[in-house]
Amino acid sequence: MTLRVAHPLDASKIGGILFQFERTTDWMPKQHSHAEMIGYGDRLIARGWVQVVERKGAVVGFVARDGAEVCALYVDQDWRGYGIGTELLQDAQARQKRLWLRTPQRNEAARRFYERFGFYEFRRTDGQGTDEGMPDAYLQWQAPSLTEKEVREHELQASCI
C-alpha cells in the first residue's frame, strides 16, 4: 500500500468511490451524477486537501482534510476490511493535534469506525442546511496532549459552523 498526495488524475477514481457509496447505501439520497462526483473530487484535490491510498497501482481510498476538519474519508467497497481506512485516519491523526468531522447520524458503521480511534460525539443537528437534509452527528478526536481549555475552544469553533 502506498499513501500519497492526490493529483488531478485521481479525481475520476475519487468520484467513482463517492458515487459508489451514494448508490450502494440504502439510506443515502441519490442526488449526484457520476460526473458531479468526479468534479467534487477534482475540487478537493485542487484545494490540496486529499491523500490517497494506492494498492496495486489503483486508488482504493482517500481522505480529504481541511486542517482539523476531516471533510471526507472513503474506501472503495471492494477494499474495505483491509486496513485502508485505518491507515488514512491514523495518518491524519499523526498530522493534527485535533480532528473533527460530521457524518449522518444514520451512518452507524462510520460512527463505530471513528469511535474505535478515540472520536466522540459532541453535537447533533436536525439536518437543515446539509446537502442531504439528513441529521448529522459531529465527532471529535484530540491528541492526549490537548488541554481541556483547548478542547472546549475547538468544540465552540466547530459548533459555529
Pairing of strands 50-55, 58-66: antiparallel
pLDDT exceeds cutoff 80 at 29: no
Query: Taking the domains of the chain in order of start, what are their residue ranges?
Result: 1-96, 97-161
Spatial separation of the C-alpha atoms in residues 34 and 111, rounded to whole Å: 26
Average pLDDT (16-21) is: 94
Name the superfamily (CATH) of residues 1-96: Gcn5-related N-acetyltransferase (GNAT) (3.40.630.30)
User: Which grid coordinates belong to 153?
Assistant: 475552544
CATH architecture of the domain formed by 97-161: 3-Layer(aba) Sandwich (3.40)
Provide the residue count of the chain.
Answer: 161
* Cβ-based burial of 14 (10 A; exposed 0-12, middle 13-18, buried ≥19): buried
Residue percentage of the chain with pLDDT more than 70: 90
Give pLDDT tens digits for 110-138.
999 999 999 999 999 887 877 777 899 99
1 vs 83 pLDDT, higher one: 83
DSSP state of 18: H
CATH fold match for the domains 1-96 and 97-161: yes
